[in-house]
Protein backbone atom coordinates (compact mmCIF):
# COMPACT_ATOMS: atom_id res chain seq x y z
CA UNK A 1 0.00 0.00 0.00
CA UNK A 2 1.50 3.30 -1.00
CA UNK A 3 1.56 6.28 1.23
CA UNK A 4 -0.58 9.22 0.12
CA UNK A 5 1.48 12.14 -1.13
CA UNK A 6 2.24 14.66 1.53
CA UNK A 7 0.80 18.08 0.97
CA UNK A 8 3.15 20.91 1.53
CA UNK A 9 2.06 23.71 3.72
CA UNK A 10 1.95 27.04 1.98
CA UNK A 11 4.69 29.44 2.85
CA UNK A 12 3.31 32.13 5.16
CA UNK A 13 4.41 34.72 2.61
CA UNK A 14 2.24 32.99 -0.02
CA UNK A 15 -0.78 32.45 2.17
CA UNK A 16 -3.85 34.53 1.53
CA UNK A 17 -3.60 37.79 3.45
CA UNK A 18 -6.48 38.06 5.88
CA UNK A 19 -5.72 41.72 6.48
CA UNK A 20 -3.22 41.14 9.29
CA UNK A 21 -0.27 42.29 7.20
CA UNK A 22 -2.07 45.45 6.12
CA UNK A 23 -3.02 46.19 9.74
CA UNK A 24 0.54 45.43 10.83
CA UNK A 25 2.04 47.97 8.43
CA UNK A 26 -0.60 50.54 9.30
CA UNK A 27 0.30 50.17 13.00
CA UNK A 28 4.02 50.11 12.23
CA UNK A 29 3.68 53.36 10.28
CA UNK A 30 2.41 55.06 13.44
CA UNK A 31 5.55 54.01 15.34
CA UNK A 32 7.95 54.20 12.40
CA UNK A 33 6.94 56.90 9.91
CA UNK A 34 10.08 56.12 7.91
CA UNK A 35 8.81 52.60 7.20
CA UNK A 36 5.31 53.92 6.52
CA UNK A 37 6.64 56.46 4.04
CA UNK A 38 8.65 53.79 2.22
CA UNK A 39 5.62 51.49 2.01
CA UNK A 40 3.40 54.35 0.80
CA UNK A 41 6.03 55.22 -1.80
CA UNK A 42 5.94 51.64 -3.08
CA UNK A 43 2.14 51.76 -3.40
CA UNK A 44 2.28 55.03 -5.34
CA UNK A 45 5.20 53.84 -7.51
CA UNK A 46 3.22 50.75 -8.53
CA UNK A 47 0.24 52.96 -9.37
CA UNK A 48 2.52 55.17 -11.51
CA UNK A 49 3.88 52.14 -13.38
CA UNK A 50 0.33 50.92 -14.05
CA UNK A 51 -0.76 54.39 -15.18
CA UNK A 52 2.09 54.73 -17.67
CA UNK A 53 1.53 51.41 -19.43
CA UNK A 54 -0.40 53.19 -22.19
CA UNK A 55 2.34 55.73 -22.83
CA UNK A 56 5.70 55.51 -24.59
CA UNK A 57 7.69 56.65 -21.55
CA UNK A 58 8.59 54.96 -18.28
CA UNK A 59 8.12 56.55 -14.87
CA UNK A 60 11.82 57.48 -14.76
CA UNK A 61 11.69 58.97 -18.26
CA UNK A 62 8.61 60.98 -17.29
CA UNK A 63 10.48 62.40 -14.28
CA UNK A 64 13.46 63.28 -16.47
CA UNK A 65 11.29 65.07 -19.03
CA UNK A 66 9.41 66.91 -16.28
CA UNK A 67 12.59 68.10 -14.58
CA UNK A 68 14.11 69.22 -17.88
CA UNK A 69 10.95 71.14 -18.71
CA UNK A 70 10.76 72.72 -15.24
CA UNK A 71 14.43 73.62 -14.65
CA UNK A 72 16.01 73.53 -18.10
CA UNK A 73 18.90 71.48 -19.49
CA UNK A 74 20.75 69.36 -16.91
CA UNK A 75 23.68 67.02 -16.91
CA UNK A 76 23.00 63.33 -16.64
CA UNK A 77 24.75 63.35 -13.25
CA UNK A 78 22.52 66.13 -11.94
CA UNK A 79 19.39 64.34 -13.15
CA UNK A 80 20.58 61.16 -11.45
CA UNK A 81 21.32 62.91 -8.16
CA UNK A 82 18.23 65.10 -8.01
CA UNK A 83 15.77 62.42 -9.10
CA UNK A 84 17.47 59.73 -6.99
CA UNK A 85 17.82 57.41 -9.96
CA UNK A 86 20.92 55.21 -9.98
CA UNK A 87 23.52 56.32 -12.52
CA UNK A 88 23.42 53.03 -14.43
CA UNK A 89 19.62 53.22 -14.67
CA UNK A 90 19.84 56.86 -15.73
CA UNK A 91 22.13 55.97 -18.65
CA UNK A 92 19.51 53.57 -20.01
CA UNK A 93 16.75 56.07 -19.32
CA UNK A 94 18.48 58.85 -21.28
CA UNK A 95 19.52 56.44 -24.05
CA UNK A 96 15.88 55.38 -24.44
CA UNK A 97 14.67 58.97 -24.52
CA UNK A 98 17.36 59.89 -27.06
CA UNK A 99 16.62 56.84 -29.24
CA UNK A 100 12.94 57.86 -29.24
CA UNK A 101 13.83 61.42 -30.25
CA UNK A 102 12.50 62.89 -26.98
CA UNK A 103 15.82 64.39 -25.79
CA UNK A 104 19.20 65.21 -27.25
CA UNK A 105 22.64 65.40 -25.71
CA UNK A 106 24.80 68.48 -26.23
CA UNK A 107 28.17 69.50 -24.86
CA UNK A 108 27.90 71.22 -21.50
CA UNK A 109 28.67 74.91 -22.05
CA UNK A 110 30.88 75.10 -18.93
CA UNK A 111 32.35 71.59 -18.81
CA UNK A 112 33.56 70.11 -22.09
CA UNK A 113 33.79 66.66 -20.47
CA UNK A 114 30.06 66.56 -19.74
CA UNK A 115 26.85 66.67 -21.73
CA UNK A 116 23.58 68.39 -20.97
CA UNK A 117 20.29 66.75 -21.73
CA UNK A 118 17.78 68.89 -23.61
CA UNK A 119 14.17 67.95 -24.35
CA UNK A 120 13.11 68.03 -27.99
CA UNK A 121 9.75 69.42 -29.11
CA UNK A 122 8.59 65.78 -29.42
CA UNK A 123 9.74 65.18 -25.85
CA UNK A 124 7.73 68.15 -24.61
CA UNK A 125 4.70 66.84 -26.52
CA UNK A 126 5.11 63.40 -24.88
CA UNK A 127 5.43 65.08 -21.49
CA UNK A 128 2.26 67.10 -22.07
CA UNK A 129 0.38 63.92 -22.99
CA UNK A 130 1.49 62.14 -19.81
CA UNK A 131 0.88 65.22 -17.66
CA UNK A 132 -2.70 65.46 -18.93
CA UNK A 133 -3.41 62.21 -17.08
CA UNK A 134 -1.77 63.25 -13.81
CA UNK A 135 -4.84 64.78 -12.09
CA UNK A 136 -6.87 61.61 -12.59
CA UNK A 137 -3.94 59.47 -11.52
CA UNK A 138 -3.50 61.51 -8.33
CA UNK A 139 -7.19 61.12 -7.53
CA UNK A 140 -6.90 57.34 -7.90
CA UNK A 141 -3.56 56.97 -6.10
CA UNK A 142 -4.64 59.11 -3.14
CA UNK A 143 -8.32 58.20 -3.05
CA UNK A 144 -8.06 57.20 0.63
CA UNK A 145 -7.27 60.84 1.50
CA UNK A 146 -9.60 63.80 1.55
CA UNK A 147 -8.48 66.91 -0.37
CA UNK A 148 -7.52 68.54 2.94
CA UNK A 149 -5.45 65.47 3.93
CA UNK A 150 -3.71 65.52 0.55
CA UNK A 151 -2.76 69.16 1.07
CA UNK A 152 -1.50 68.34 4.58
CA UNK A 153 0.53 65.41 3.24
CA UNK A 154 2.06 67.65 0.57
CA UNK A 155 2.97 70.32 3.14
CA UNK A 156 4.56 67.72 5.43
CA UNK A 157 6.61 66.24 2.57
CA UNK A 158 7.87 69.70 1.62
CA UNK A 159 8.82 70.27 5.24
CA UNK A 160 10.80 67.01 5.32
CA UNK A 161 12.45 67.75 1.97
CA UNK A 162 13.45 71.26 3.03
CA UNK A 163 15.43 69.80 5.93
CA UNK A 164 17.06 66.97 4.00
Of the pLDDT bands very low, low, confident and very high (cuts 50, 70, 90), residue 164 is low
**What tens digit of pLDDT does each residue of 129-162 get?**
999 988 888 888 899 999 999 999 999 989 988 8
- Coil, strand or helix at 101: coil
For 13, which DSSP code?
T
Specify the pLDDT at position 17: 62
Element (H, E) at 85: none
**CA-derived radius of gyration, the chain:** 21
Per domain, the residue ranges of the chain are 29-132
Specify the pLDDT at position 63: 93
| Distance, CA of 6 to CA of 2 (rounded, Å) | 12
Strands laid side by side in the 74-75 sheet: 74-75, 115-119, 103-107
Specify the pLDDT at position 3: 62
Check whether domain 29-132 has CATH 1.10.10.10, yes or no:
yes
Q: Are strands 103-107 and 74-75 parallel, antiparallel or unpaired?
A: unpaired
**What tens digit of pLDDT does each residue of 2-30 get?**
565 555 555 555 556 677 887 888 888 88
Measure Cα distances from 31 to 25, 27, 39, 144 in Å: 10, 7, 14, 20
**What tens digit of pLDDT does each residue of 35-61 get?**
888 888 888 888 888 888 888 888 899
Amino acid sequence: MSNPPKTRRASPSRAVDDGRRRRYFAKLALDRPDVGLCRATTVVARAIDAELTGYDVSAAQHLVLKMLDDVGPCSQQELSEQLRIDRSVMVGCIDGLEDSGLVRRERHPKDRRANVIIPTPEGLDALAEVESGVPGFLDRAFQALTPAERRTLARLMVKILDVA
